[in-house]
Chain A
Amino acid sequence: MDQLSQALVSGLLLGGFYAIMVLGFSVIWGVMGVINLAHGEFLMIGAYLAWGLFRFFGIDPFASLALILPLMFLVGYLLQITLINRIVERPHLMTLLVTFGVSIALANLAKIVFTSDPRNVAVAYSGSFQFAGVTFPIVKTIIFAAALLIMGGLHLFLQRSRLGKSIRAAAQNKTAARIVGVDINRVYAITAGICIALTAAAGAMLSPTQAIFPFMGPPFTLKAVTITALGGLGRIPGALMGGLVLGVTEIFVATYVAGIGTNLGVATSFILLVLILVVRPQGLMGGLRPVDAEAD
């Protein structure tokens, strides 16, 4: 029983991180139909930025979000207007290939700049506390709380603000949004900026909990796809639900399948992904964009 509740709590905490990790990916896919294969690489960049700020300026990873968010917003904005907006209306294959190319380029750029030695961010509060007989790692608990906070904020922004409404309009019907005067390219660029910033923020928050290295990205991209398939496109509650399901599944596999540890995280989520896609091609909650969208 004790092991069960511990595994459940660990899974939920991991799931909270997954939920915040997946948001950017899910919203980009939902709004512009672009599957961003460089997602994990932006997470990696966020983690490296947090490491650099911590190592050289002594800034706490959570405080460094104040710098990382605007910086990465700019990066995402520029990437969108220079690159992705050119091909966003072309066949899916082209956006896949371009983001794949970007991911390879970013990972190897990071390898050149930071070398492939793993880096760690050793914060002072890296311990854990006991509550009701269950161990809560402090950092992961903070991430979980921050995840809920950020998701609430993003939800409010998308539902209430004028800009959020035009983003949703562009996602629902591009032509109609254009007719009523939404500048699609600008909305896309802002969306990409927000999403890349969120992804980098997730990476920065991740930095105290695991080693940072240039090729850490692809597993996160893959998990993001799985969670999106679980929870639906561009839906914030769906991202939370999907993240929690994947987190709990992963920890349960690690706890109850002997001799594996957490080494099979990607394999677990991959099997989950293929199962979902084969059994329910529209995603578990529905709403995955039909692939033949490029034909109509």
Chain B
Amino acid sequence: MTNGPPADKNGNETGKKARFPSLAPVHSLLAGWTGLALWLLLLLLLALYPYTGVSSLALLVGSQIFVLVTLASNWNLIGGMTGYVDFGHAVFFGVGAYIMAILVTGAPLLISPQWGFWQALPASGAAAALFALLIGLPTLRLKGPYFSIAMLGTLVAMREIVRVSRPITGGGIGLNLPPVLNRIGDYYLMLAIMGLVVSLIWWIQRSEFGQSLIAIREDEVGAEMRGINTTLHKIAAFMIAAFFTGVVGGFWAWQNTFIDPDGVFVETRTVEMVMMSMLGGLGTVWGPPLGAVAIYLLQNLLWSNLFEWHLLALGLLLVLIVLFMPEGILGTLGDRSSTSLGRLLARFGRNR
């Protein structure tokens, strides 16, 4: 139990050999307690980082990277581990952002005039989780591409609904939040949320709950026959992922001080989550954070050099990753079948 990724417990990894065999022990170490220890060490270092006297810009960049890591890890829980590829996950981000904005600006329909940030933050997560429950009950019954499209539809439909419900959401004009500049607070808050989420994913991966999710991904009917309550597990994973995405959305609205339907309910944000998870390694614990950092660096490189072209490049990059590196960084360097797409490819290969 102390070493080896949980996926190895089945012992039938007869797929492709790792391309870098010498890295395999490193890979399996990372999946166990050593990985968590290293992660906590990294968190500690990041917590000490502001004491080195850095600029407020560096703190902003830090909190932005933490946002991306959290989003990617959340998406990975439903998209990578459970195998339900969610093309509309940004909807939970948007719901969280709007709940935060509505609560702190005291929009007309509310009885209580204004909420503080600290009451509104868990509320935005809870609202996103509730929304996930409502939307997941029908959509999680759909399989494969139908689920993906239904979620994409949720995203586009929510954008329309929010734009139309003008009295509550401010319509297309959007909402302005009170500007509060607290870079150091933002940094530590996102660091804490990120630390919590990634550790939670690590724990889920090892727990019975996580193993059930992986079983659902690999063979849903089989999992059900083994006595796993698949609906309950899927909904639970969906709600956990939505909760933290909503919290991040709320935080983002607070930090950004302005939101509108086109700014939060955007497909691009979903693409980012998908890409970060894919680039790192779909369905692994450490892949999405790795991918998030890589994409952030890449984006900043693109952003500074070819500002207008950066979203175009993002789309093309997604195509390239799928074509040439579907197993992600972790799958390419280490055990190919530790990522969900690697397993899928090993099983189905070219013949269908």
State the A residues within 8 Å of B (CB): 35, 37, 83, 86-87, 89-94, 96-98, 100-109, 111-112, 218-219, 221-222, 225, 260, 263-267, 269-271, 273-274, 277-278, 281, 291-296
Q: A273-B150, A291-B146 are in contact. Are A101 and B315 (CB under 8 A)?
A: yes
State the B residues within 8 Å of A (CB): 85, 87, 138-139, 141-146, 148-150, 152-154, 156-157, 160-161, 163-164, 267-268, 271, 274, 278, 308-309, 311-312, 314-319, 322-323, 326, 341, 344-345, 348, 350-352
**Complex: A89 Cα to B348 Cα, angstroms:** 9
Contact A91 B348 (CB under 8 A): yes
Contact A296 B267 (CB under 8 A): no
Q: A91-B341, A104-B267, A266-B153 are in contact. Are A109 and B312 (CB under 8 A)?
A: yes
- Of all A-B residue pairs in the complex, the 9 with the closest CB atoms, nearest first, are A105-B315, A101-B318, A104-B315, A291-B144, A270-B153, A108-B311, A267-B157, A101-B319, A270-B157
| Apart from the given pairs A97-B278, A266-B160, A273-B149, 15 other A-B contacts in the complex at a CB distance below 8 Å | A35-B149, A89-B350, A89-B352, A100-B87, A104-B314, A111-B311, A218-B267, A260-B164, A267-B160, A270-B157, A271-B157, A273-B153, A274-B139, A278-B141, A296-B352
> Which of A96, A107, A269 contacts B85, CB < 8 Å?
A96
Contact A274 B138 (CB under 8 A): yes
Contact A274 B344 (CB under 8 A): no
Residues of chain A lying within 8 A (CB to CB) of residue B144:
92-93, 291-292, 294
**Complex: A104 Cα to B310 Cα, angstroms:** 11
**Complex: A219 Cα to B152 Cα, angstroms:** 10
Residues of chain B lying within 8 A (CB to CB) of residue A106:
315
Q: In the complex, which residue of chain A has the Cβ closest to the Cβ of B311?
A: A108
B189 to chain A, nearest CB (A): 30
**Complex: A290 Cα to B207 Cα, angstroms:** 32
**Complex: A86 Cα to B150 Cα, angstroms:** 26
B72 to chain A, nearest CB (A): 15
> Which of B156, B161, B318, B319 contacts A218, CB < 8 Å?
B156
A sample of 6 cross-chain residue pairs with beta-carbon separation below 8 angstroms, ordered by A number, consists of A83-B319, A91-B344, A98-B318, A98-B322, A104-B315, A269-B153
B171 to chain A, nearest CB (A): 10
A242 to chain B, nearest CB (A): 15
Contact B312 A86 (CB under 8 A): no
A83 to chain B, nearest CB (A): 7
Looking at chain B's contact residues, the main secondary structure is helix
A187 to chain B, nearest CB (A): 17
Among A101, A260, A263, max chain B CB count under 10 A is at: A101
A197 to chain B, nearest CB (A): 22
**Complex: A281 Cα to B145 Cα, angstroms:** 12
Tell me the total A-B contact number using a CB cutoff of 8 A: 143
Contact B143 A291 (CB under 8 A): yes
A250 to chain B, nearest CB (A): 12
Contact A218 B152 (CB under 8 A): yes
Q: In the complex, which residue of chain A has the Cβ closest to the Cβ of B164?
A: A263
B315 to chain A, nearest CB (A): 3
Residues of chain A lying within 8 A (CB to CB) of residue B149:
35, 37, 222, 225, 273
Residues of chain B lying within 8 A (CB to CB) of residue A225:
149, 153
**Complex: A105 Cα to B315 Cα, angstroms:** 5
Q: A98-B323, A225-B153, A263-B160 are in contact. Are A103 and B315 (CB under 8 A)?
A: yes
> Which of A92, A112, A269, A293 contacts B308, CB < 8 Å?
A112
Contact B319 A274 (CB under 8 A): no
Residues of chain A lying within 8 A (CB to CB) of residue B318:
97-98, 100-101, 104
**Complex: A112 Cα to B314 Cα, angstroms:** 14
Q: In the complex, which residue of chain A has the Cβ closest to the Cβ of B219?
A: A295
Residues of chain A lying within 8 A (CB to CB) of residue B323:
83, 86-87, 98
**Complex: A222 Cα to B87 Cα, angstroms:** 12
Q: A90-B350, A96-B145, A266-B157 are in contact. Are A104 and B322 (CB under 8 A)?
A: no
Contact A264 B146 (CB under 8 A): no
**Complex: A273 Cα to B85 Cα, angstroms:** 18
Residues of chain B lying within 8 A (CB to CB) of residue A264:
160-161, 164
Contact A274 B153 (CB under 8 A): yes
Residues of chain A lying within 8 A (CB to CB) of residue B139:
274
Residues of chain A lying within 8 A (CB to CB) of residue B315:
101-108
**Complex: A93 Cα to B27 Cα, angstroms:** 25
Q: In the complex, which residue of chain A has the Cβ closest to the Cβ of B161?
A: A267
Contact A278 B312 (CB under 8 A): no
